[in-house]
Amino acid sequence: MIRRRARASGRRRLASATRVLAAVALLGLAASGSATAYPALDLEARLERAVDVFVGEVTAVQGERRDDAPWTLVTFRVETWLLVDGTPAALGAFERTLAFLGGSAPGVAPRQVAGFPDMSVGERFLVASYGDEARGASPIVGVTQGLWLETDDVWRDPAGAALAIDGAGRPLLSDGGDPEAVWLPALRTRLDELRGAP
């Protein structure tokens, strides 16, 4: 009788421990598979990592099949270049197309990538990208952190931080934001400083 109780008690403890371990494992899987994590970057880090920086208007958004996955191609009419291939630049109008994993394309199932930008024709952005040779799911610095959408002359990143300048005239991110005519020259100057331009 004592042996039966001991065995039954041992089985209950084993079953209880197994349930606890299974729950911990499931929580770990759920936590690791629920979202893609990437580090938050301040403005300085975004500018340091950028290969291309420009102000442009979206002129086309279309889907394309690549390696059996849908990609969204976003074409910008570049109004102002600040950085091209890592070099400070003051080029005129140009077109730049960037590819983002996800969206819809003929012959493949649609794919939505959480956190990726939804861009529409006519919208204006400041774009800090890894360049047109970027090989990741997003060519934008910090996945989406290198994008600022213009709305009523305030330029905000996906987290809502707006471009502005501080009292010394240096670019920063703030709650309020400054007009493009104020932050654009400061941003150009800071990029020149970071790249060692004369």
Q: Is the C-alpha dihedral spanning 35, 40, 43, 46 positive or negative?
A: negative
- DSSP category for residue 106: T
Task: Give the range of the structural domain holding residue 160, as residue numbers without chain letter.
Answer: 43-195
Task: Give pTM, 2 decimals.
Answer: 0.78
Report the alpha-carbon distance of residue 26 to residue 32 in Å, rounded. Answer: 10
Note whether 70 and 105 are same-domain residues. Answer: yes
Q: Average model confidence (pLDDT) for the chain?
A: 82
CB 77, CB 56: distance < 8 Å: yes
Give me the number of domains the chain comprises: 2
Q: Is the C-alpha dihedral spanning 136, 139, 142, 143 positive or negative?
A: negative
Neighbours of 43 (CB within 10 A): 20
- Local structure of 181: helix, strand or coil: helix
What are 37-56's pLDDT values in tens digits? 678 999 999 999 999 999 99
Note whether 73 and 15 are same-domain residues. Answer: no
